[in-house]
Amino acid sequence: MDRFWSLLFLAVPVLGLLIVLGAVFNVGLHDAWLPESIGPRTKGIDYLFNLFHIIVAVVFVGTGLLLAFSLFRFRATNRKVASYVHKSIWLELLWTIIPAGTLVFLAMHQLPYWQANKEDHRAFEPAGAGSSDLETPTVRVVAYQFGWRFIYPGLDGTFDTRDDVISENLLVLPSHQEIVAELRSMDVIHSFAINKLRLKQDIVPGLSPRIWFMITQNGDWEINCMELCGWGHFRMSARLRTVSPNDFEDWLMDIVQKRGY
């Protein structure tokens, strides 16, 4: 009977590994790994994602196997007694330095990707700088319980004027263009996420963080709120539609003209 327990615990790392391999190689599990990419800058994020997963997998499988081995070897009927180690300075050093070193490595290693995705752009506002030299965002995203409002500056290119265009839960954008979006929240913390762009930005009320991205395909995609923001969080999704730059101008013009400005 005590062998049963070691087998049961052995099943955890084995099944865990099989599920991940099935997802990665599309065997048995369909579309369970990373979603397709619709932007040019997702490669770096995917690389980090895979690297972190490999490190976690090694630790997870390693500790799982060790646990199963210990349960089997030191089972009651085997009459082997485990040795107890006290105050081993080398062991203490080993299991402090390896995790700490791994974390420091990951923190340093991801810096260039953070730089490329968050800082290498004109829309980034360095601490202490005035906001006057920032470019006008393509769109202002307003999150609320429970939905999304997308505001375009309209024909005059300025926000908070009469010709602003407002779209509820549908974000239309031109493809193959660098997009700058300014995010705002009307109530609680929300998080703007487009999975196929590996893009996610929290929106804290009172702050207006900026994001920038480019989409190189035309089509309809999903926008989600990634922060548990209340009872209606589950239905806080919106549609993202990318069209050619000409079609985007037409779409905007159409709305402005219908309103008669």
Name the residue nearer to Cu ion (CB basis): 115 or 169.
169
- Region binding Cu ion by CB under 5 A among candidate stretches 3-11, 48-56, 126-134, 183-191: 183-191
In the complex, minimum distance from the CB of residue 167 to Cu ion, in angstroms, rounded to a whole number = 18
**Could you say which residues in the range 193-212 bind Cu ion, by CB under 5 A?**
none
In the complex, minimum distance from the CB of residue 201 to Cu ion, in angstroms, rounded to a whole number = 12
Name the residue nearer to Cu ion (CB basis): 215 or 225.
225
Q: Does 190 bind Cu ion (CB under 5 A)?
A: yes
Name the residue nearer to Cu ion (CB basis): 223 or 225.
225
In the complex, minimum distance from the CB of residue 183 to Cu ion, in angstroms, rounded to a whole number = 12
The β-bridge partners of 224 are 193, 237
DSSP state of 82: P
Name the residue nearer to Cu ion (CB basis): 84 or 231.
231
The answer to whether the beta carbons of residues 67 and 5 sit under 8 Å apart is no
Rounded (10°) angle between helices 43-73 and 89-109: 160
| Distance, CA of 259 to CA of 62 (rounded, Å) | 64
Q: Sign of the C-alpha dihedral, residues 11, 16, 17, 21?
A: positive
- Region binding Cu ion by CB under 5 A among candidate stretches 39-47, 86-94, 156-164, 236-244: 236-244
> What does the buried/exposed string (b/e) look like for 95-115 if buried means 16 or more CB atoms within 10 Å of the residue's CB?
eeeeeeeeeeeeeeebeeeee
Q: Does 141 bind Cu ion (CB under 5 A)?
A: no
Q: What is the token pair recorded at 248?
A: 């985007």
Q: Does 238 bind Cu ion (CB under 5 A)?
A: no
Q: Does 184 bind Cu ion (CB under 5 A)?
A: no
Dihedral angle, C-alpha 254, 258, 259, 261, nearest 10 ° = 70
Binding site for Cu ion (CB under 5 A): 190, 225, 229, 236
